[in-house]
Structures are given as structure tokens and as C-alpha cells.
């Protein structure tokens, strides 16, 4: 990789990879839609329109309306915005906490490593969805608590990935060289270990992003997310269930929105893995 | 072998202890307890009466004493009684676990019935239409939420075609045929999603195995392609699949929680959800510990299965 333009070869590799390209396009569309939701949404997502309730797609309501006559397209845009913010903050929090604990454990080894590895074992053995549900049932829903519940689940896997990467990198001659030159631990970890351990962490983060969207959707579906009437994709699917035989649009539209989002991240994650680390490439 | 099993079981103890401790603390870290949620149903209960109730449930004791008491009882096989119904948690679990087990096993069966042929075919005909379809199927399996797949299946098979019931449960002993009819859609919802992950792993591990020397040898000595694929290749390719299923067992149970909710199945997952919503401490503690223990045991079982699949792997 040419150090002066580290992103060019990566970008080229991503563009050559068909699934990464499709995934990237989907992700970009979803991101734009979510970011620009207040500008794009044709209706107020909370506006009731009883005469138009449970209608299918029409020129007026592109994707139909729900049981209160609220515009589904506008609600899905805002719901996606919420999902993506929860996912982004959860992955970032899991990456920061789990990633740093894992790097430190792998670098220093010894007693600290033992404690951290045990912690990861416990977190991974804990039934993930029950952990998240328990958190939310006690703390109540809302943005911060959703993030807390999902990121706690992520800490374990991030510890494992970061620790494994650090263990591998610390045996390399260039780490020994840095130590011989008298570099401090902080400097070695930040300048030598971290950049070389970055690839698996980035791949893990992208795939975790897909998982975070799924987790937020499942928790909202169970009624543990944010309070109605604010739109969350999972709770929209759940609310629409009562009206399936009258008009399935209320559940189908948010459901397919979730699938599209997660599919985009999964395809992009696979492509990134192939581009960043050919050794991890699937055959 | 026996000493290996013992060693693994001993190693699981600190993990399960951690799970128990986290659950215990989590349940008590937040305001409100079962007394407030019970009393919430009936207005004007005096504070004295509430204090009396707390004393009755042992909630007035220091935390470490409560934990020690609970753990001591658990070690004797007593998971306590539900604070709400008064029924023994272990008894309720024994009643509900068969439902979850049936759902999980049927889900697993669906997954293997789809994933094994699809994964093998995709690897043999690499780059063909089948391979392309397998990849598409796998990525969709990883991207569709279980509850949404369940809803699509209900919409198609229950509401539109009317072939199967949309929800509900009939015990296996009461009426096996009706039981199966009620379990088909839940098992498909769980199994199709797992099938995605398994297809993906099996395809890549088959591809790897097929490039090995012993496969070339097997072909060179004139064995039929069928024997080469199924006797020599598939058997070796199944090891990573077993690992993935073991790892996924936890999320399979997690998925079961949601699927049980969608289809109103009286399983362990719904039991835990009800317990959490009502702050029924013994129910939640007992269920979580039970599920975590099951996950640990399944992982051990998977490791032992390796030596069945591949006799060279022995445990000392």
C-alpha cells in the first residue's frame, strides 16, 4: 500500500468487488435518506390523516399509510435515521471499550489479560438478547439505553478480535525494534500495534453495524425501544401486525427497509474484508 | 476423555458464576422491585404493608446475603419460586423447556436440510447459477430479521393460503399432528435464518477441503465422485459447521425468544420476557442461568462431536 495515498488502493479494490459496490450503493442511499429525512420526507411522520388510513401506495402517499393514516415513507425515513444513529453510537462505544481492552490485554498479557479474557468469555456466554432485554426492561427504553444495551453485547467480541490481533502483531520484529529504540508502551500501542490491528477491527465493526441495526429492530419490535408515536422500524412492523389482513403495508414497508439497510452493511462488510485483508478472503 | 469432560465442566464454573452475578446485580441495579410492580395493580397499599411484603420475599436483606442465599439454593437444585405465582421456577422451566427445545431442534433440522445440499452443490459447481443462488440465500439469511421473516411466512401460509395456523401451541402429547402444524412456521422462521450462516460456512470449508491432496488421491484411485464428495470431503468440511452451530446455539436461543413471542409459544424465552417485565427476580435469574448453562453444555457437546466426525481428534 502506498503510504502517501493509503485510501486509493482500498477504494479501487472495493470498486472492483461487485458485492462491495452494490453494498456501498445501498448504504450510501440509506445514509443519504436518513441524513436528509427532514428535507426529503413528503409528510410530517407524526401527522394523523384518519380518512386515508391503511391505504396502499398512491401518488399522494408513495408507500401507503398506517392505521392512523400516517405516511409510511416519511415514517420509514425517520425510523431509519433513528436506527442508524443507535447502530453508529453502539458500534463506536463497543469498539472503543472492547477494542482498547483487547489491545491492552493482548499487548501486556499476564494477569490483566486473564481478567479481560474471562470478562469477554462471560459477556459472550451471556445470552445476548436476554442481556439487552434485561437492560432495557429495567432502565426503560430511549436512545441512550438502547445504545447501552446493544454496546454491552458488542464489548465481548471486540475484546476477542482486538486481543487476537494484538497477540499476533506484538511478536513481529518491528515491535521489537520499537521497543529496542526505547519507545513508550503508549507510543508502541498507538503507532505500531493499532494500525496493524486495524483491518480486522474495521471489518468486525462493519459487520457489527449490520448486527446493531438488527438488534435495535428486534428490541423495538418487542416494545423495548423508544416510546410511540416516534417511528422506529421494529415497532412499526409490530404495530402493523394487528392489521395484516386489512393492509399489510404497515408491516411490510418498515420490514423491507430493515432488510435493505442490513443487506447493504453486510455486503459492504464482506467487500471490505476482501479488500483490506486478502488472507481473510472467503474462497 | 472423561477427564477432558471434567476439565471443561470445571472451566465453565467461573463463567457461569459471572453470568449469575451479572444477572443478580442487573436485576437490583434499578429502581422499583417486584413489590412496587405487584402493588402497582392495586392502589392505596400502605408503606408498612409494602415493607412487610419485602421482608416476606427477603428483599430487605443486604445484597450479598440475598445472592449467597440464592446461589446456595441453586447449588442444591432449587431455583426458587416465582414471586408472582408462587410456583417453583425449576418446575415451570421443566414445563416450558420442551417447547423451546422442540423449536430449536426443528429449526436446526430445517437449517441443515437446506444448508447441507445447498452448500455442497455451491462448492462443487463453483461459479454456477446454483453457487450464485447459494450466496444470495446466505446473505439474505444474515440480513432478514427473524421476526420479519416470521411475519412474511404468516402472511403467506396462514393469511393468504390458510394452510397453517398463524399462532398458538398444542402440546406434542395432546395431539402430535396439530403440534407439528403449529410448529412448522416458527421452525421455518428460525431455521431459514440459520441456514444462511451454515450454507456460507459449509461452502467455503467444502471448497477448501476439495483442494486438498487426499481428495486428489481419492479421485486418482478411481473412487466414484459421489464417494469422494460425501465420504471424503463432506465429512471433513462438517467440522467448521459444527463449530458454527455450537457458537450460534446461544443466538438460536435468543432468536427463539422473539419467535416464541411472535407465535405465542409457551417456551423458555417468553417465560424470561414475562419475568423481566414483572421484575420477577427468581424467574429471570433461574431462566438466564439455565440458558447460559445450556449454551455451555452444547458447546462441550459440539467439541465431543468432533471426535465422532473426525476420529483423529481425541481428547485426553
SS (H, E, C) B287-302: HHHHHHHHHHHHHHHH
Contact criterion met (CB < 8 Å) for A128 and B147: no
| Pick from B291, B288, B286, B315: nearest CA to B302 | B315
Chain B CB contacts of A130 below 8 Å = 254, 257, 272, 287-288, 291
- For residues B53 and B147, the model is more confident at B147
B237 in A contact zone (CB under 8 Å): no
Contact criterion met (CB < 8 Å) for B291 and A237: no
B240 in A contact zone (CB under 8 Å): no
Contact criterion met (CB < 8 Å) for B159 and A244: yes
Instruction: Give me the mean pLDDT over the B81-90 stretch.
Output: 86
pLDDT confidence band for B29 (50 / 70 / 90) = low
Q: What is the DSSP letter of A48?
A: -
Element (H, E) at B217: helix B213-220
Query: Which spans in chain A are helix H?
Result: 7-16, 18-35, 37-40, 72-108, 110-125, 128-139, 143-170, 173-180, 185-187, 194-221, 233-240, 249-276
B153 in A contact zone (CB under 8 Å): no
Nearest to B257 among A122, A130, A139 (CB): A130
Q: Chains A and B: how many Cβ contacts under 8 Å?
A: 124
Instruction: Give me the mean pLDDT over the B151-174 stretch.
Output: 90
What is the rounded distance in angstroms from the CA atom of residue A76 to the CA atom of residue A231? 7
Q: Is the pLDDT of residue A55 over 70?
A: yes
Nearest to A217 among B27, B145, B255 (CB): B145
Instruction: Give me the mean pLDDT over the A224-246 stretch.
Output: 86
Residue of B nearest to A262 (CA): B143
ipTM of this complex prediction, to 2 decimal places: 0.85
pTM of the model: 0.84
B167 in A contact zone (CB under 8 Å): no
What are the pLDDT digits (tens) for B249-296? 767 777 888 899 999 999 998 888 888 777 787 888 888 888 878 877
Chain B CB contacts of A248 below 8 Å = 155
Q: What residues form DSSP beta bridges with A65?
A: A71
Chain B CB contacts of A19 below 8 Å = 139
B82 in A contact zone (CB under 8 Å): no
Q: Tell me, what's the pLDDT at B38?
A: 64
Peptide bond into B269 cis (omega under 30): no
- Among A97-101, A220-224, B117-121, the least confident range: A220-224
What are the pLDDT digits (tens) for B140-149? 999 999 999 9
Q: What residues form DSSP beta bridges with B81?
A: B88
Contact criterion met (CB < 8 Å) for A237 and B147: yes
> Of the segments A40-54, A182-196, B55-69, which one has the largest average pLDDT value?
A182-196
Which of B 169-188 lie inside 8 A of A, CB atoms?
none
Q: Tell me, what's the pLDDT at B73?
A: 84
Q: Is the pLDDT of residue A2 over 50?
A: no
Please list, in sequence order, all residues whose beta carbon lies within 8 angstroms of the beta carbon of residue B94, skipping any fewer than 6 positions away.
none
Q: Is the pLDDT of residue A1 over 50?
A: no
Amino acid at each position: 500500500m502506498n503510504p502517501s495515498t493509503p485510501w486509493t488502493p482500498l477504494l479501487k479494490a472495493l470498486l472492483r468487488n461487485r458485492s462491495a459496490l452494490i453494498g456501498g450503493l445501498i448504504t450510501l442511499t440509506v445514509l443519504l435518506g436518513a441524513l436528509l429525512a427532514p428535507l426529503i420526507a413528503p409528510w410530517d411522520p407524526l401527522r394523523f390523516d384518519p380518512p386515508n388510513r391503511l391505504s396502499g401506495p398512491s401518488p399522494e402517499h408513495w408507500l401507503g399509510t398506517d392505521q392512523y393514516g400516517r405516511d409510511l415513507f416519511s415514517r420509514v425515513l425517520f425510523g431509519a435515521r433513528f436506527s442508524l444513529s443507535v447502530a453508529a453510537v453502539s458500534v463506536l462505544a463497543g469498539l472503543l471499550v472492547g477494542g482498547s481492552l483487547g489491545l491492552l490485554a493482548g499487548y501486556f498479557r499476564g494477569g490483566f489479560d486473564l481478567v479481560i479474557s474471562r470478562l469477554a468469555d462471560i459477556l459472550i456466554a451471556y445470552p445476548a438478547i436476554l442481556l439487552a432485554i434485561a437492560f432495557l426492561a429495567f432502565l426503560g427504553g430511549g436512545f441512550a439505553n438502547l445504545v447501552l444495551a446493544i454496546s454491552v453485547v458488542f464489548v465481548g467480541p471486540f475484546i476477542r478480535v482486538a486481543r487476537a490481533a494484538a497477540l499476533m502483531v506484538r511478536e513481529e520484529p518491528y515491535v521489537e525494534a520499537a521497543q529496542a529504540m526505547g519507545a513508550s508502551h503508549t507510543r508502541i500501542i498507538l503507532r505500531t500495534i493499532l494500525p496493524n490491528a486495524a483491518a480486522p477491527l474495521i471489518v468486525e465493526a462493519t459487520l457489527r453495524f449490520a448486527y446493531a441495526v438488527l438488534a435495535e429492530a428486534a428490541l423495538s419490535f418487542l416494545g423495548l425501544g423508544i416510546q410511540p408515536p416516534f417511528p422506529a422500524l421494529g415497532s412499526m412492523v409490530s404495530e402493523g401486525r394487528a392489521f395484516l389482513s386489512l393492509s399489510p403495508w404497515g408491516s411490510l414497508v418498515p420490514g423491507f427497509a430493515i432488510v435493505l439497510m442490513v443487506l447493504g452493511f453486510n455486503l459492504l462488510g464482506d467487500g471490505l474484508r476482501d479488500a483490506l485483508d486478502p488472507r481473510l478472503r472467503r474462497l | 476423555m472423561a477427564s477432558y469432560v471434567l476439565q471443561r465442566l470445571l472451566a465453565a464454573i467461573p463463567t457461569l458464576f459471572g453470568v449469575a452475578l451479572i444477572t443478580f446485580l442487573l436485576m437490583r441495579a434499578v429502581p422499583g422491585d417486584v413489590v412496587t410492580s405487584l402493588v402497582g395493580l392495586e392502589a392505596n397499599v400502605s408503606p408498612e404493608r409494602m415493607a412487610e411484603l419485602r421482608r416476606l420475599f427477603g428483599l430487605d436483606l443486604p445484597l450479598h446475603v440475598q445472592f449467597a442465599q440464592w446461589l446456595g439454593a441453586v447449588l442444591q437444585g432449587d431455583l426458587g419460586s416465582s414471586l408472582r405465582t408462587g410456583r417453583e421456577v425449576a418446575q415451570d422451566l421443566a414445563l416450558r423447556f420442551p417447547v423451546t427445545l422442540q423449536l430449536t431442534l426443528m429449526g436446526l433440522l430445517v437449517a441443515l436440510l437446506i444448508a447441507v445440499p445447498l452448500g455442497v452443490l455451491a462448492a462443487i459447481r463453483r461459479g454456477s447459477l446454483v453457487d450464485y443462488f447459494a450466496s444470495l440465500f446466505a446473505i439474505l439469511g444474515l440480513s432478514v430479521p427473524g421476526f420479519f421473516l416470521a411475519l412474511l411466512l404468516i402472511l403467506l401460509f396462514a393469511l393468504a393460503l390458510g394452510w397453517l395456523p398463524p399462532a398458538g401451541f398444542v402440546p406434542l402429547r395432546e395431539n402430535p399432528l396439530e403440534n407439528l402444524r403449529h410448529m412448522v412456521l416458527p421452525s421455518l422462521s428460525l431455521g431459514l435464518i440459520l441456514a444462511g450462516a451454515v450454507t456460507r460456512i459449509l461452502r467455503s470449508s467444502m471448497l477448501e477441503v476439495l483442494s486438498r491432496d487426499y481428495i486428489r488421491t481419492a479421485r486418482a484411485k478411481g473412487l466414484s465422485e459421489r464417494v469422494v464428495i460425501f465420504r471424503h470431503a463432506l465429512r471433513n468440511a462438517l467440522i467448521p459447521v459444527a463449530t458454527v452451530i455450537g457458537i450460534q446455539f446461544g443466538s438460536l436461543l435468543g432468536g427463539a425468544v422473539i419467535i416464541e413471542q411472535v407465535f405465542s409459544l409457551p417456551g423458555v424465552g417468553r417465560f424470561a420476557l414475562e419475568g423481566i417485565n414483572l421484575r420477577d427476580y427468581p424467574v429471570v435469574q433461574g431462566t438466564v442461568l439455565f440458558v447460559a448453562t445450556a449454551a455451555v453444555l452444547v458447546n462441550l457437546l459440539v467439541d465431543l462431536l468432533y471426535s465422532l466426525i473426525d476420529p483423529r481428534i481425541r481428547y485426553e
